[in-house]
Chains A and B, each alone.
Chain A
Amino acid sequence: MEPFRQHEFGWRVALDFLLSGTGSSMFIIYFLSAGSNRLVYMLGPVFILAGLAVLLSELGKPSNFWRSIYNYKTSWMARGAIFNILYILVWLAMILAYILNLYAFPLYAIEFALSILVLIYPVMLLQDVKDIKLWKNGWSSVMTAVYAISGGASLDAFIISLYQPDVLTLAYISLGISLLALVLLFAYISALRREQYKSIEYSLRQMLEGDRQNLLKLSFSGVVVQFAMDLLFILNIPAKPFALLVGFAFSMAGVYSFRLMLLNAGFHEPLISDKRIKEITASLKIGHKN
């Protein structure tokens, strides 16, 4: 029997993941680079909010969204909802602190921690689907996270270049992470090739030969262009922030393609193994017994 493809999560879920991944990772990167521009910190949650809006539009009964925090004990989606809501609340607090001009570092630190949670919840959410071996795969989780961070870093680099064109730290970070993503992508594919699961075999076929191969190509080119543009910027070759804008656009396309590919190439393991089918047919003595 052939593995069956999942149809539940599609382009909207990928978009939600893209927005929340970008928002959270731009916060993380900027925080780690000890950035001081408060507006950049404010921007991350806007993405998350947009992501939530996309998610709501995907729901069959959005009016029940408030219930989604109930089953946090076992469901990563419930946990994700909680992280997102807390994230927004802390963001509101940050805005308040900004307006009142209060000391806000603890809020930033909390938001940083929440950013990490928001970053990892989609990874864990997919990881928790036992039956879709592509999602369950550890490499998929690593790739999802690295891709998200590369997008965030690219965005950070671009925005900062508008304010401080001479500071190259973030461009270097973006360069490094895009290179990492590129290298990992090859490792990822070859790691998947070694998997024994039939569903992963199908996933790979979808990614490499099927109607998902453009997505793979796009996620590949995304990080390549990001890398190239960061390099141009660092080497100070032609137009300045413009290169980073192009890099960011490609990066987004790459991250989105990767997410979409991961969702669309998700196959369930066959309901019944070929071995079991043989066992049944042999014992039923149906067909011809040659």
Chain B
Amino acid sequence: MQEAKYINTTCSICGHNQCGVIVKLVDDKVVQIMPNREDPMSKGSICPKSIASVQLLYHPNRLKYPMKRAGPRGSGKWKRVSWDEALGEISEKLLQVKSEYGPEAVVMARGTNRGSWIRLFNRFANSFGTPNWTESGGAQCFTPRSIAQQLTFGGIALEWPDAESSKTIMVWGADPPASWAPKSRKIVNSKSGGSKVIVVDPVMSNMASKADVWLPVRPGSDVALAMGMINVIISEKLYDQEYVEKYTVGFESLKERVAPYTPDKVSEITWVPSDRIIEAARLFATNRPSSIAISATFDEIVDPIQLGRAVSIISAITGNVDVRGGNIFPETAGQIYVDTNDFIMIESLPEDLDKKRLGAQRYPLLSRYLKINFPMAHYPTILDAIITGEPYQIRAMFIMGGNPKLSIANSDRAAEALNKVDFLAVADLFLSKTAEMADIVLPVASWLEYDGLADSAQATYGHLRIRQKVATVGEAQSDTWIMIELAKRMNLKGFWNSEREYLDYILSPTGMTFEQLKGKGGIIYHEPDIGSKLRNGFNTPSKKIELYSERLKGWGYDPLPFYNEPFESPYSTPEVAKQYPLVLTTGRRVSAYFHTAQRNVPALRDIYPDPIVEINNDTAKKLGISDGDKVRVETRRGFVIMKAKLTQGIHPRVVGVQHGWPDIANDNRLTDNTACAVGIGSTTLRGLLCNIRREKQ
């Protein structure tokens, strides 16, 4: 046996390049992955997914070479082919569709960002010429909350709580211990140092277990809660008067808008006790500095833009934006050297194609180029187009790291569409439920198998680190390599000859190559310049924080946040509620799984073996359900069968289901993909109606 080798690298099992880790190798085999406490960014954060990556890396079911379908679609018959043949056939097919039907007949879809810069895929699609690129996340993750924040303060400060210096931290619609380990660490450390934590979550989550004030909001009514908190802050004069005058516009109209949202009224809407709403608002506004941490709920309710706006406003009027201990604007390294708009080559896409993008008509905030977004096609609209041929027929689809068959709302429809598209190529680590339907599958490298640059627009606080290749599995190649090779074969403009050339290009403004950066410790850090926006003005037309948004008004939307009841709820559809009396929140996360992935990793599956539905003990008792029973949760769209977990940490009329499980436990059988959010197109995943009953065991 050789000496053990230890290599510092950056994990990307969740696609966010968050945690510095140390990989232990013996005989050039990875044997252990451990947190790197010296890492200046993550400081020892890690999660079960990362630790168990050694089982993922060498998993016997990994795709090891490209394969071509050798029987009818979905038959499970495959033929091994060379990379040359696979890439040749994909590029030939895509170019053929482009020339025969136009570039818009090709859909390029992304899911998990496996550590490459997600904008590279953007660039790939734009260079190819199709406006129809999208993400499984897309309107469901980051885009809506990013746009809401761009509109409000011209940046994405809510992604960046300066939690270690905060006295109060409000975590809203997020469970950092399950999905944002370094942020979670900051919050827990801050809490240990005496700061207060407010958690808004319908379920007593991991984070809520550390809350001083827990606001168990009715799923989907978050905007009302935010309006209520603003109401308390304004009517009790707890806002930062000087800050509001100096740095914001539209305070008076805001005051008028929130006036009806008294704590009592909000309590009725949200089912949160009114004294608790008041307590949270007071704590947040007075025990300063205060910061806010948010996540995907801000993209998954009926009108996510309003939530992003309203919660941004809470932070703004209490004077917590761009201040130490509040929400800040760090530069996101790695890509900071390159202008992102230039990088994605958005200008290379003709105006008429921008208009043709699927979703452009109904969801302009998502799908038109507004200079505050990276426009993408609307996934449910794409699926409709495939099925109906309207407004035009989609002929080919290239999916990278996504599993839409499970992860898209109303997943049966996604399956139908995937089955119908003429040509489907999928790149993934495993033969996922989506890859099973493909004509060609490409084996993708995990985060341990390629060199790369690691940062995240949402998680790394101005750090850029490197990732190092420590293992090789079969012929698997990184996403970046695949895109570069395909680009070469299709003669796409703006691509490189090799991965290394690409990395050097990104780093070129620093005067360093990848190798040189590696030699210098592999880390670039930009200390956030806190207060620069206060000094130089925010990146908005008024140079101030826009509580009242002229831009929204100009596009025909309400310039002030307002509360919209979910499209189905006990109040908006009381007749539906008779049959489906419980309010459902889908997408509950656990730390061991990233969306649909990792169920096949034994060490992780042993920790969370079953798909779980959380339900209040008292409700369960009335329905004859005991802890651990198999139960059926049903909505108007479909049903799932999961295992009941009884808890007091959930409202008696609320049910929470986990997401990402396949087949009968897939929570997207419950969700709807027709009633999408105004302007942005998000499907509602939090705040649906359901009923629940005990299944035969």
Contacts and interface: CB of A to CB of B under 8 A. Distances in A.
Contacts of B210: 286
Nearest to B197: A286
Contacts of A285: 212
B646 to A, nearest CB: 11
Contacts of B348: none
Interface string A250-290: 00000000000000000000000000000000000111110
Interface in B63-120: none
A163 to B, nearest CB: 51
Contacts of A286: 209-212
Contacts of A288: 211, 213-214, 276
Contacts of A287: 204, 208-209, 211, 214
Nearest to A287: B214
Nearest to A288: B214
A254 B610 CA distance: 38
Nearest to B216: A288
A92 B210 CA distance: 68
Interface string A189-206: 000000000000000000
Contacts of B208: 287
B169 to A, nearest CB: 14
A286 B212 CA distance: 6
Interface in A166-202: none
A287 B276 CA distance: 12
Interface string B276-295: 10000000000000000000
Contacts of B204: 287
A209 to B, nearest CB: 12
A288 B199 CA distance: 11
Contacts of B276: 288
A289 B275 CA distance: 12
Contacts of B213: 288
A289 B197 CA distance: 13
A66 B233 CA distance: 77
A158 B410 CA distance: 69
Nearest to B191: A286
Contacts of B209: 286-287
A287 B206 CA distance: 11
Nearest to A2: B627
A4 to B, nearest CB: 13
B209 to A, nearest CB: 6
A5 to B, nearest CB: 12
Nearest to B279: A288
Interface in B202-253: 204, 208-214
A287 B207 CA distance: 10
Contacts of B214: 287-288
Nearest to B213: A288
Interface of A: 285-289
15 contacts: A285-B212, A286-B209, A286-B210, A286-B211, A286-B212, A287-B204, A287-B208, A287-B209, A287-B211, A287-B214, A288-B211, A288-B213, A288-B214, A288-B276, A289-B212
Given A287-B208, A289-B212, 13 more contacts: A285-B212, A286-B209, A286-B210, A286-B211, A286-B212, A287-B204, A287-B209, A287-B211, A287-B214, A288-B211, A288-B213, A288-B214, A288-B276
7 nearest A-B pairs in the assembled complex, by CB-CB distance: A288-B214, A286-B209, A286-B210, A287-B214, A288-B213, A286-B211, A287-B211
